[in-house]
């Protein structure tokens, strides 16, 4: 790693300690520093830090972004330490880290209807520049966060660099990847989902042991149980989901990654239940009952993500798919591949599932409305790169290197008709420079997209990069020299690696580069990050090359 990278990493470590304290209960009830004084809120009086779950920004636009926090001085107790009333929350945005020049201020209310979370849609900012923000409630000041606005729509952007991360099972390991991600110099982060996991696995732990803390400056890292434990069993009610999010968001490395960058977020399955599809779960629960769980999950997801009011849930439905234009460089299409799909074929069992069964002509994956929205957006795009930022693999890999075909039924490969319909439209309309960004697999993959991956010699329709998990699956291992038999069995697949980490995308009008960052271990907070592989795609080629 370069000296500048190490300097940013050390700055991030100090930032975590300074902003979040050496213990989660440490806070300073001090007036906002710099700029105009905000109105004082006399009640309630918090005996513990109400900002224990951190702060975040999301959905950056050329004129602003969403700033988020949730007041929860007792994140695991009944009522979360909050009164059953609305609480005034002041906020401010500055053009400098010291808040010498405050450009926006305001007051909002944290409502018990949304677990005292707030989602402020800040506007009136300048494009393509960093800003700093913070909150105040009950006499307590929040940590400070930083986020960049997007470039103006017509900007001929020379470069953009962003991160891709997700699949962060709390019991599987520590969120060290987020510490490193926070130190990267990025425009934004795309989180592809599985932000939380719904199960009770990893054992049980008392609530008092769940708030992870950064070590004091100069002190050795404290030993911690490994793997970590989820609080409680499997989650079903909205308060269950709220406590699960609170547990994850108490992690200082995850808080640091949110405080350092604006995020675009989508969900996958574990924010609700493993491998769910529309009205069906994997356990045969009656759809009317599962709708109640979906409603609880959707509400808690909105409460804990920096989403706009347009994503406010309506019963179990929530607006996840949306689009962002990043100058003339990128057209970013954030997809939802859970709410509108038909049920998995073969009862979601890959063994013995045939090509005919995964090719059902009535199958839906994104739903007709979202599919039409995506097609129209791609047709109208004038951007250099057209990005599908989504959850599950689009390559239809044969998962059995032997004579039989074996599909991941929960991915696009289990829904061959809508998959081919989307790819064929891009092929027929000559959609340029298609990049698909994916998660879910807990594995790093890079490959080329075809209507049929087993037909060599045809120009790819696009490129897919699959980012591994932050922790899910544990430490993992490398696959040196491309020795994994899946590469030989699938002509479109160019790379596979089973370590943990995240993806960095560095984009110019001429070239897309994706860098697979991996950790040697996640069962220790001191895991070491390295670059496992870099791939490049030249604009107009749709072919992967080593970078």
Listing DSSP states for 66-109 in one string gives EEEEE--SSTTSGGGG--SS-EEEEEEEESSTT-SSEEEEEEEE
Q: Are residues 42 and 155 in the same domain?
A: no
Residues 111 and 11 in one domain: no
- The answer on 315 and 208 residing in a single domain is yes
Angstrom distance (rounded) from CA 528 to CA 176: 9
Residue indicated by tokens 């906020």: 91
pLDDT score recorded for residue 221: 42
Do residues 447 and 491 both lie within one domain?
yes
| Alpha-carbon span 84 to 86, nearest angstrom | 7
- Structure tokens of 183? 């130190």
Q: Under 8 Å CB-to-CB from 270, ≥6 apart: which residues?
A: 169, 193, 194, 195, 196, 197, 198
Q: Indicate whether 390 and 510 sit together in one domain.
A: yes
Which of 125, 150, 175 is the endpoint of a domain?
150
Rounded to 5°, the CA angle 215-74-174 comes to: 40
Task: Please check whether residues 234 and 344 belong to one and the same domain.
Answer: yes
51 and 21 inside one domain = no
Instruction: Assess whether 254 and 365 both reside in one domain.
Output: yes
Q: What was the pLDDT predicted at 514? A: 98
Do 165 and 245 lie in one domain? The reply is yes
Host domain of residue 413: 3-30+151-475+484-546
Of 95, 129, 150, which marks where a domain is finished?
Answer: 150
Q: Could you tell me if 127 and 187 lie in one domain?
A: no
Domain tally, the chain: 2
Indicate if 494 and 376 belong to the same structural domain: yes
Mean pLDDT in each 10-residue stretch from start to end of the chain (547 residues)? 52 48 40 41 78 98 98 96 95 98 97 97 98 96 98 96 98 97 98 96 52 39 60 96 98 98 98 97 96 98 98 97 97 98 95 93 98 98 98 94 88 97 96 98 96 79 98 90 81 94 98 98 95 97 93
Can you list the pairs that 236-242 forms with residues at least 24 positions away whose Cβ atoms lie under 8 Å? 236/293, 236/296, 237/296, 238/295, 238/296, 238/299, 238/300, 239/78, 240/296, 241/196, 241/198, 241/296, 241/297, 241/299, 241/300, 241/301, 242/80, 242/115, 242/300, 242/303, 242/304
For 382, the token pair is 């004038």
CATH of the domain at 278: 3.60.21.70
Task: For residues 19 and 101, state if they share a domain.
Answer: no
Cα(141)–Cα(31) distance, rounded to whole angstroms? 7
The residue from 150, 183, 211 where one domain ends is 150
Q: Strand, helix or coil at 250?
A: coil
């Amino acid at each position: 790693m370069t000296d500048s990278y190490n300097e940013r990493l050390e700055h991030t470590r100090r930032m975590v300690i300074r902003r979040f304290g050496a213990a989660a209960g440490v806070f300073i009830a001090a007036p906002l520093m710099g700029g105009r004084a905000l109105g004082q809120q006399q009640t309630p009086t918090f005996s513990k830090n109400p900002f224990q779950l951190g702060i975040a920004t999301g959905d950056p636009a050329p004129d602003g972004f969403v700033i988020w926090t949730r007041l929860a001085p007792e994140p695991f107790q009944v009522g979360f330490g909050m009164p059953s009333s609305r609480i005034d929350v002041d906020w401010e945005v500055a053009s400098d880290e010291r808040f010498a020049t405050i450009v926006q201020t305001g007051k909002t209310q944290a409502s018990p209807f949304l677990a005292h979370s707030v989602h402020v849609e800040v506007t009136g900012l300048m494009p393509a520049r960093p800003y700093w923000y913070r909150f105040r409630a009950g006499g307590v000041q929040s940590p400070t966060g930083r986020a960049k606005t997007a470039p103006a729509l017509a900007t001929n952007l020379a470069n953009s660099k962003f991160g891709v991360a997700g699949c962060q099972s709390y019991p599987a390991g520590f969120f060290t990847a987020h510490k490193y991600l926070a130190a990267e110099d990025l425009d934004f982060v795309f989180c592809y989902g599985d932000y939380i996991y719904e199960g009770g696995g990893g054992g049980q732990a008392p609530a008092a042991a769940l708030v992870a803390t950064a070590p004091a400056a100069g002190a050795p890292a404290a030993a911690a149980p490994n793997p970590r434990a989820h609080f409680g069993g499997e989650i079903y009610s909205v308060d269950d989901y709220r406590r699960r999010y609170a547990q994850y968001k108490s992690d200082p490395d995850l808080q640091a990654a949110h405080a350092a960058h604006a995020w675009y977020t989508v969900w996958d399955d574990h924010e609700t239940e493993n491998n769910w599809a529309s009205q069906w779960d994997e356990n045969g629960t009656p759809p009317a009952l599962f709708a109640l769980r979906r409603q609880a999950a959707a509400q808690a997801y909105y409460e804990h993500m920096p989403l706009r009011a347009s994503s406010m849930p309506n019963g179990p439905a929530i607006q996840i798919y949306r689009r962002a234009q990043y100058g003339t460089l990128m057209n970013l299409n954030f997809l939802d591949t859970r709410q509108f799909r038909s049920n998995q074929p073969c009862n979601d069992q890959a063994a013995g599932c045939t090509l005919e069964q995964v090719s059902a002509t009535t199958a839906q994956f994104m739903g007709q409305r979202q599919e039409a929205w995506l097609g129209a957006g791609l047709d109208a795009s004038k951007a250099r790169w057209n990005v599908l930022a989504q959850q599950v693999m689009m390559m239809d890999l044969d998962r059995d290197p032997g004579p039989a075909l074996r599909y991941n039924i929960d991915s696009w490969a289990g829904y061959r008709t809508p998959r081919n319909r989307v790819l064929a439209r891009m092929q027929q309309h000559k959609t340029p420079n298609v990049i698909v960004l994916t998660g879910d697999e807990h594995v790093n993959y890079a490959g080329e997209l075809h209507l049929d991956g087993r037909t060599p010699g045809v120009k790819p329709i696009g490129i897919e990069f699959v980012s591994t998990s932050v922790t899910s699956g544990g430490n993992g291992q490398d696959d040196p020299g491309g020795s994994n038999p899946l590469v030989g069995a699938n002509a479109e697949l160019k790379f596979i690696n089973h370590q943990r980490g995240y993806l960095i995308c560095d984009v110019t009008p001429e070239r897309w580069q994706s860098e697979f960052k991996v950790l040697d271990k996640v069962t220790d907070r001191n895991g070491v990050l390295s670059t496992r592989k870099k791939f490049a795609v030249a604009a107009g080629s749709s072919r992967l090359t080593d970078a």
